[in-house]
Amino acid sequence: MLLILLGVAYDVGITTEYLSNLLEVLVSTMDIIRVVDVHKIYRLGSIEIHALRGVSFSVRRGEFLCIMGPSGSGKTTLLNIIGALDRPSKGSVIVDGRDITKLGERELTEFRLRKVGFVFQFYNLIPVLTALENVELPMALAGIPRRERRERARYLLRLVGLEDRMDHRPDELSGGEQQRVAIARALANSPSIILADEPTGDLDSETSMRVLKVFRGVSKEEKVTLIVATHDPLVTGYADRILYLRDGKIQGEKLVERGEQ
């Protein structure tokens, strides 16, 4: 009898362990990013600026999340921390199950190069390189052979609708085209996350819409998780969810219901 009971308990033990592992795997596939109680205090001499005051949220894999908030609310600070360009003063950021706030310098460089792609307001393209070469650059840094990176750069530029602008330098492209090159470049090393800080901040509304459609299209095509920080209300029409940030705190969130754009 005891033996049978022990056997059952053993079985149950295995099952519990199995279930908890399964649960962990399921959770990790659902949430690619977990931001947990993140604080950021900037110190300027004797002045302290509390830019983030206990921010927590999760982002699902493949989600297009928009972070909205007034100037100074902490959007850039938050993106920089998620992209490991900066460390929080307190709290953690779990990306794919790893706490990136605990990584060493070498791991951080690797994380920034392969796991995330950045898109900024002013494109940050290298002026002397063509669109194609700009997109190839992160792949060259990652040691991808020349032929392979050229092929992928061409594919990505086609994806953002710039097949006939590949050999143009940034000053031979419009603002919207430059931003699309920046998006293609951000996708170069197949990151799982793209972080964009005011990507439409310097564009007129029609061009912004085109850029946002490209964002949405490539995030589905390449299955990347997209976080866009912005003031621009246009962005909210393309996102799956909006987080509202104010004075370094999350004020609320909204799920966007809409048909396909």
Least separation in angstroms between residue 51's CB and Mg ion is 10
| Candidate residues 33, 55, 65, 76; the one interacting with Mg ion per rule CB under 5 A | 76
Least separation in angstroms between residue 175's CB and ligand ATP is 18
Bridge partners for 34 per DSSP: 58, 94
Nearer to ligand ATP by C-beta: 44 or 255?
A: 44
Please tell me whether residue 230 binds Mg ion under the rule CB under 5 A: no
Q: What angle do CA 104, 110, 113 make, to 5 degrees?
A: 135
53 binds, among Mg ion, ligand ATP, none (CB under 5 to 8 A by kind): none
Tell me how far apart the alpha carbons of residues 132 and 232 are, in angstroms, rounded to a whole number. 29
What three-state secondary structure class fits 173?
coil
Q: Kindly list the strands in the beta sheet with 193-197, ordered across the sheet, starting from the edge strand earlier in the chain.
A: 116-119, 193-197, 225-230, 64-68, 241-246, 249-255
Please tell me whether residue 74 binds ligand ATP under the rule CB under 6 A: yes
Stretch that binds ligand ATP, among 17-25, 71-79, 108-116, 140-148 (CB under 6 A): 71-79
4 binds, among Mg ion, ligand ATP, none (CB under 5 to 8 A by kind): none
Q: Is the dihedral of CA 214, 218, 221, 226 positive or negative?
A: negative
- Give the total of residues touching Mg ion (CB under 5 A): 2
> What mask, x for binding ligand ATP by CB under 6 A, covers residues 27 to 66?
---------------x-x----x-x---------------
Tell me how far apart the alpha carbons of residues 22 and 236 are, in angstroms, rounded to a whole number. 34
**How many other C-beta atoms can be found within 10 angstroms of the C-beta atom of residue 124?**
13
Burial of 208 (0-12, 13-18, 19+ CB in 10 A): buried
> What mask, x for binding ligand ATP by CB under 6 A, covers residues 223 to 252?
--------x---------------------
| Candidate residues 38, 55, 63, 69; the one interacting with ligand ATP per rule CB under 6 A | 69
Please tell me whether residue 73 binds ligand ATP under the rule CB under 6 A: yes
CB-based contacts of 255, cutoff 8 Å, min separation 6: 240, 241
- The binding site for ligand ATP (CB under 6 A) comprises 42, 44, 49, 51, 69, 71-77, 231
Binding site for Mg ion (CB under 5 A): 75-76
